[in-house]
Amino acid sequence: MSRASQDYKSAVKPIWCPGCGNYGAMKALTQAFLDLDIAPESIAMVSGIGCSGRMSHFFNTYSLHGTHGRAVPTALGVKAARPDLTVLAVGGDGDGLSIGGGHISHAARKNTNITYLLLDNRIYGLTKGQASPTTDFGHKTKTSPFGVDEPPMDALPAFIVYDATFVARSSTVHVAELTELLKAGILHKGFSILHILTPCVTYPVFDARTLKATLQPLPEDHDRKDKMAAIVRGYSTNPVFTGIFFQTEKPTLEERLEGQAQPFAPERSGDELDMLRKVLYDFA
Ligand code: SF4
């Protein structure tokens, strides 16, 4: 069945500021769905709080705008209950790296088969421009009138150390590249995380021109199975690399859950199983 981008749009029109990088993410994600020919009703999108957290409202998919910092564990629950769906979590740097930061390592450890779009504009835009965990050292904001006095978090190398099985970076000003990486992340079997740099035009920490000047694709000979090389290139600031830094295979949470359910399969019987079924029934 041939689909059009319109099929993925909900009746809710985006209310981001004109020029916001989130539009680029939305365009890339729509194109990725189209290219992969995923039906809107086969997609579940869970978002956190913040400007980018509004993303789920604008797609004609199953969507849940969750609580602050909880997009990833909520998406994990959706995938555990409905492994047939393509499940995405979407959120910003404040949502995902501050209050929600502790969830990423566990989603990676469990290797739940979801794709996490971490849209990093290095600022809390929705609440009018306070410093986030990735705001540049010395940058002046309303909560740091004399300049941020802590170094920013370097998130991508941490995702690799957490053993996420797919770690990539792109930006919302490189929509074609971002589309390809989103497709690769969605097709990846396991926890895929995309660090997506995106300019906030209203409380800018960096702009589209800076991204175009500093971002550069990983070298063609980059071995995405080489974890140490991925970490070293993940730390690079000149240039800031884009592409798939690390990718490996491991059993997913959903596969392991399926294995745990096998002893309770309907065709099996026995006193112990009957007792367990009774306990589960009593709690149901
Ligand atoms: Fe986008 Fe910044 Fe406006 Fe939020 S405040 S919608 S991040 S430009």
| Full DSSP string of the chain | ----GGGGB-SSPP-SPTT-THHHHHHHHHHHHHHHT--GGGEEEEE-SSTGGGGGGGBSSEEEE-STT-HHHHHHHHHHH-TTSEEEEEEEHHIIIIITHHHHHHHHHHT-S-EEEEEE-SSBTTTTSB--TTSPTT--BTTBTT---SPPP-HHHHHHHTT-SEEEEEETT-HHHHHHHHHHHHHSSS-EEEEEE---SSS-SS-HHHHHHHEEEPPTT--TT-HHHHHHHHH--SSEEEEEEEE-----HHHHHHHHHGGG-TT---HHHHHHHHHHHHH-
Percent of the chain with pLDDT over 70: 94
pTM value?
0.93
Percent of the chain with pLDDT over 90: 88
pLDDT-derived band at 281 (thresholds 50, 70, 90) equals low
pLDDT tens digits, residue range 59-93? 999 999 989 999 999 999 999 999 999 999 999 99
Q: Is the pLDDT of residue 159 over 60?
A: yes
Domain ranges of the chain: 5-252
In short, whether 53's Cβ falls inside 6 Å of ligand 1 is: no
φ, ψ at 177 (rounded to 5°) = -65, -45
How far is ligand 1, taken at its centre, from the CA of residue 124, in Å? Answer: 9
Atom of ligand 1 nearest to the CA of 121: 7
* pLDDT at site 114: 98
Q: Is the pLDDT of residue 54 over 90?
A: yes
CATH number of 5-252: 3.40.50.970
* pLDDT at site 283: 66
Q: CA-CA distance, 177 to 169, in Å (whole number)? A: 10
* pLDDT at site 180: 98
In short, whether 25's Cβ falls inside 6 Å of ligand 1 is: no
In short, whether 119's Cβ falls inside 6 Å of ligand 1 is: no
pLDDT tens digits, residue range 262-273? 766 666 667 777
Average pLDDT over residues 195-199: 98
pLDDT-derived band at 260 (thresholds 50, 70, 90) equals confident
